Chain A
């Protein structure tokens, strides 16, 4: 059990092109499958992901970090389900390798946006907590 979803991929294109795909509203819609037309890579900008096949509802987002072409982060909030609060942070990290290859890392963390300050300081203790919880979940 982990507190985050982390995925990495390599794209055989320069970093600017990958950045463009993450931040250009039209391109963003094409691969996210949401019809999202109000994205802007500006900190504090609020936008929505909506109208996706197989996705019931709207995702409310707010841009919290923009450092072209290396870092992009936004909050990701949807209706909670059951007892799980559903407000997370999605962040993208781009690294350019040699030969025009871009490494892309996606991280979605389960922190609520209002608890942003906890992300750095509490990471170690969160990991401890989750390790401990793993045994509880397994046993119960």
Chain B
């Protein structure tokens, strides 16, 4: 299963997401130039982000370009607001039940 939480738990990957948030897309070598690690390591991080659906890549000639896809982050927010409603409703019922019964 793709795991957005794990993908964004790493500071390097968060920085990559921020970089990509500021531009349309970036080729691998430009991203790699910003990090004190080899291109292979950078590509591995990008692969994890890609697997989580947070970046999309495409080949242009011999280089791979990456861009941000923020939709999965929105899904997390949608779940949070779903549960906020869900629990609010349940807690209301709980309160009613506990306070009414066995006066």
Instruction: Name A86-104 residues within 8 Å CB distance of B.
Output: 86, 104
Which residues from B are CB-within-8-Å of A11? 94-95, 98-99
Question: Is residue A31 contacting chain B, with contact meaning CB distance below 8 A?
Answer: yes
- With A11-B98, A12-B99, A17-B98 as known contacts, state yes or no: A140 contacts B4, CB within 8 Å: no
Which residues from A are CB-within-8-Å of B75? 81-84
Instruction: State which of A17, A32, A125, A136 has its C-beta within 8 Å of the C-beta of B18.
Output: A136
The prevalent SS among residues of A at the interface is: mixed
- With A11-B98, A17-B98, A81-B75 as known contacts, state yes or no: A32 contacts B5, CB within 8 Å: no
| A7 close to B87 (CB less than 8 A) | yes
Instruction: State which of B1, B77, B83, B98 has its C-beta within 8 Å of the C-beta of A137.
Output: B77
Question: Is residue A119 contacting chain B, with contact meaning CB distance below 8 A?
Answer: no
Question: Is residue B60 contacting chain A, with contact meaning CB distance below 8 A?
Answer: no
**Which B residue's beta carbon lies closest to that of A106?**
B87
Chain B proximity of A104: nearest CB distance (Å): 7
Chain B proximity of A91: nearest CB distance (Å): 12
- The number of inter-chain residue pairs (CB within 8 angstroms) is 107
Interchain CA distance A133-B84 in the complex, whole Å: 20
We find that the number of chain A residues with CB closer than 8 angstroms to chain B is 41
Which residues from A are CB-within-8-Å of B58? none
| A5 close to B80 (CB less than 8 A) | yes
Chain B proximity of A76: nearest CB distance (Å): 9
| B102 close to A21 (CB less than 8 A) | no
Which residues from A are CB-within-8-Å of B79? 81, 84, 86, 110
Which residues from A are CB-within-8-Å of B95? 9, 11
| Residues on B facing A (Cβ under 8 Å) | 1-5, 8-9, 11, 14, 17-18, 21-22, 52-53, 68, 70-77, 79-80, 83-84, 87-88, 90-91, 93-99, 102
